[in-house]
Structure 1
Amino acid sequence: MRAQLVYFFAALRFFTRLPTPAWVDHSQDQLNHAARYFPLVGTLVGLIAATVTLVAAMILPVSVAVMFGMAASVLVTGAFHEDGFTDACDGFGGGWDKEHVLTIMKDSRVGSYATVGVALLLLAKWNALVEIDATFDTLTLGLTLVAAHAISRLAATSLIFTLDYVREDATAKAKPLAVRMAPHELLIAALTGLAPCVLLPASNLLVALLAVALCTWLAARYFVRRIGGYTGDCLGATQQIAELAFYLGLLCSFT
């Protein structure tokens, strides 16, 4: 049990800016097993975003409250996944072969593909969340945030299990996690990623999960075709796309 707790805190430290206990040291072995708790960390991030959103909605319009909730999730993670999404936009948008794509993604400068891509992504998420509140209710909006942050991180985790890591640089963002997961580790990730979803209506949830699965599958196929596998930026991009897909799937289930 202590080992599992250490793996969880290792994941929390790697994926967020939240404090972790001093007795949890740093080691490569911990990070190699941390990905199993990526969705559980997502649940925690979702809870923070949902709490900020629901509290803000008590005194502010929902449209403003949603913005505060989104900002909270970005602050908690240090824009870790948004950064991966922007790098992926620049890399795949501007690169013409594998090496060029990887070189662009490693460049810290932000290009036009990244700027347009992240602007549209954040705008789409904001609009979707506002519509979820209008379509369902504010409580469902909060539950949706928790579920989406968890399941989208499960989507990203699935790439670690199914695809090959393609960077050789030991300092790369996802290198500590780039060890192929064992089936039991994926099972832990799946259970923790799906658990928050049971709080949502089953009839609406199915469409949302199908949307996430489809987008994850398409993303994986695209990554393999372009670069032969995944990088840390691909994981961040998948998380962001899957989160939006969950929101849109939920809205589609209501129509």
Structure 2
Amino acid sequence: MNAILSKQLNRVRLALSFTTRLPVGQQLDYSPTEMHAALVYFPLAGLLLASLLSLLFLLAQPLAGIEVTAVLLLIASLLMTGALHEDGLADSFDGFYGGFETQRKLEIMKDSRIGTYGSAALLLALLLKLMLLIQLAQQQLLIPALLIGYSLSRALAVTHAQDLPYVSAPGKSKSDPLAKPLSLPLLACLLGFGLSGLLVAMIGWSLPVVVALVVLVAVVAVRWCLKHWMHKHIQGFTGDCLGAAQQFQELWIYIVLLAVANLGYWLPVVTELPSGVAG
């Protein structure tokens, strides 16, 4: 039993080391096989990030106000992840729209420099995220939105390996462990962890089941669009593509949650939050 727990803890640490800059300790047992199995914990890494951002929001918002705190959350998120997914978003746009042939698109995506398409996409994505965080905070929905967005978007990004080929050169990328599809048991675990944020929101913030279903339908639809977007441009996926997919899904989740709140379909329980927070 101790050996099983130790192996799973190592995989959690591997997931954190891959997706964040958070300290995970020394002597990680790394191998391509172990890293591949650690993919199922990517949503839990997102849930941890969302929890840390939620704590920052609770501490800073009463002192600095919603707008300033939203900027601090954005900065903290970029620092904790090393802008991993944002980098993928920028590289994907540079490659997809800066080249004509598939090989040229891949070459551009591997270039460490950022171009016009990538700069524009990154700027607009960060601006949109900032505005969404502010609006969600004003609706007293920021914390559940973070929990849902950070966990579910990471799970969905990983699933693109199930039905798209990996097109980067093997052995030359940090994302090589993402190349293979997950087995059905591991895929079930990944999706289960990805739904954890929704479950927490349903329990702690009275997220209606109907709204949860709307979110799921919405993200599945976007996943379908992203899959065809990747296939159209490079006939597969790279690690950068998965970063872009995560960013698209996270933003889309925030938009859907804000829309259902504005339509009056989700009136969260706010008495559990400390006095003076939000609003």
| 2:44 paired with 1:43 | no
Task: Pick the structure with greater CA Rg.
Answer: 2
Name the counterpart of 2:194: 193
Q: Could you tell me whether the CA contact under 8 Å between 1:208 and 1:248 is conserved in 2?
A: no
C-alpha RMSD of matched pairs (Å): 1.4
SS in structure 2 of the partner of residue 91 of structure 1: helix
| 2:11–2:38 Cα contact (<8 Å) kept | yes
CA contact (8 A) 2:53 2:77 kept: yes
What residue ranges of structure 1 are gaps of 5+ in the alignment?
none
Q: Percent identity at matched positions? A: 35
Which amino acid in the other structure matches residue 218 of structure 1? Answer: C
Measure how far apart 1:207 and its partner are. Answer: 2.8
Q: Distance in 2 between matches of 1:161 and 1:40?
A: 20
Deviation by residue 1:137-166 (Cα, 9 ceiling, x = unmatched): 1xx311211211001101101112222111
TM-score, normalization: structure 2? 0.86
Contact 1:40–1:189, Cα closer than 8 Å, also in 2: no
Gaps of 5+ in 2: 202-206, 264-279
Distance apart, 1:169 and its partner CA: 4.1
Per the alignment, residue 158 of structure 1 pairs with 159
Amino acid at match of 2:211: N
Once the two structures are TM-superposed, the CA of residue 63 in structure 1 deviates from its matched residue by 1.2
**Post-superposition offset of 1:42:** 0.8
Output the CA distance in 1 between the equivalents of 2:100 and 2:56.
42
Please give the per-residue CA displacement for 1:12-53, whole angstroms capped at 9, x wherever unaligned: 111111111324232222112121111111111111122112
Q: Which residue of 2 aligns with 1:52?
A: 56
Q: 1:208 to 1:129 in 2, by over 3 A?
A: farther
Aligned to 1:192, the other structure's residue is in SS state: helix
User: 1:63-74, aligned counterparts within 5 Å?
Assistant: 63-74=67-78
2:158 touches 2:178 (CA, 8 Å); kept in 1? Answer: no
Task: Describe how 1:49-128 pairs up with structure 2 within 5 A.
Answer: 49-128=53-132
CA contact (8 A) 1:132 1:141 kept: yes
Count of residues paired in the alignment: 252
3-state SS, counterpart of residue 64 of structure 2: coil
Deviations 1:193-220 (A, max 9, x none): 1011123312433333332222121011
Q: Indicate whether 1:171 and 2:178 are aligned.
A: no
Structure 1 contact 48–72 (Cα < 8 Å) conserved: no
Quick check: 1:207–1:252 contact (8 Å CA) kept in 2? no
Q: Structure 2: how far apart are the matches of 1:23 and 1:253?
A: 46
Q: Is structure 2 residue 11 aligned with structure 1 residue 3?
A: no
Q: Deviations over 1:167-191 (max 9, x none)?
A: 1242223112212211111111111
